[in-house]
Amino acid sequence: MKKALAVVALTLCSALSIANAQTLKVGTEATFAPFEFTDEKSNIIGFDVDVIKAIGQEVGLDVEVVNQPFDALIPGVLTSQLDAAIAGITITEERAKQVSFSDPYYKAGIDAIVRKADAQKYPTLDSLKKSRLCAQIGTTGADVANKISGNVGTYNTVVEAFMELKNKGCEAVLNDRPVNLYFLQTKNEKDFYEIPELYNGEEYGIVVSKQNKDVLEKINSGLKKIRENGTLAKIHEKWFNTKE
């Protein structure tokens, strides 16, 4: 009898906790490997996906990751269609006027990829100042391209920007260095060359609405925990083969 009661109580408890578990709807843009991309079964995977799920697990939030265009992520958070966004989003002053950022979770920066045949022609970022450049729309890569030459074609995804470079529609793609490197390594792209110069250092943060202080606090406390307990380093090692 006692046992039966305990089972009932346990079942009730878990049913209640499921009902109470808050689901965090998190937007991303899944063409930005290794941070977010899709596997052969169309599951969204990557560094960012592992980070936000590990944070959710620490603070008791279920996480649902949804795919959206990059330039729809901040508007999605502003209109409460998304609770948060994680997509290799650089913390910038401009964006921080509109939304809150979590503590930084990854150090990146912008650099350029050119066609290998042009490696001598474009030894530095400055040598691109009269060139047509390509970038993903709404990104810090596009901002840098505008500063370098002001002659910029923007695309919905960085994959399309790389295609345009290949087709000689532009002379260089300006984009986040870790994504550029991953692209060169995994796609075995012998036709491309990375100019060995970082335009600037940037840091990624998770975007939350300024109204949603509770979620921001939870995300920051989860992030702190996964940094301290080594989970973040493990995720880093999984996707980059290095601890940091």
Give the span between the Cα atoms of 244 and 231, in whole angstroms: 12
Cβ closest to ligand GLN, residue 84 vs residue 89: 89
Cβ closest to ligand GLN, residue 90 vs residue 102: 90
Least Å distance, CB 242 to ligand GLN, is 20
Chain residues that interact with ligand GLN, rule: CB under 6 A: 29, 32, 70, 87-90, 136, 139-141, 176
Least Å distance, CB 7 to ligand GLN, is 48
Contacts of 228 (CB under 8 A, 6+ apart): none
Least Å distance, CB 162 to ligand GLN, is 12
Cβ closest to ligand GLN, residue 89 vs residue 148: 89
Triad 44, 46, 51: Cα angle to 5°? 110
User: Is residue 204 left, alpha or beta, with left meaning phi > 0 and alpha meaning psi from -120 to 50?
Assistant: beta
Give the span between the Cα atoms of 99 and 46, in whole angstroms: 24
Closest residue by beta carbon to ligand GLN = 139
Least Å distance, CB 176 to ligand GLN, is 5
Give the span between the Cα atoms of 122 and 148, in whole angstroms: 13
With CA atoms as reference, report the closest residue to 239 among 16, 66, 32.
Answer: 32
Cβ closest to ligand GLN, residue 101 vs residue 192: 101
Least Å distance, CB 144 to ligand GLN, is 10
Cβ closest to ligand GLN, residue 54 vs residue 173: 173
User: Is residue 85 left, alpha or beta, with left meaning phi > 0 and alpha meaning psi from -120 to 50?
Assistant: beta
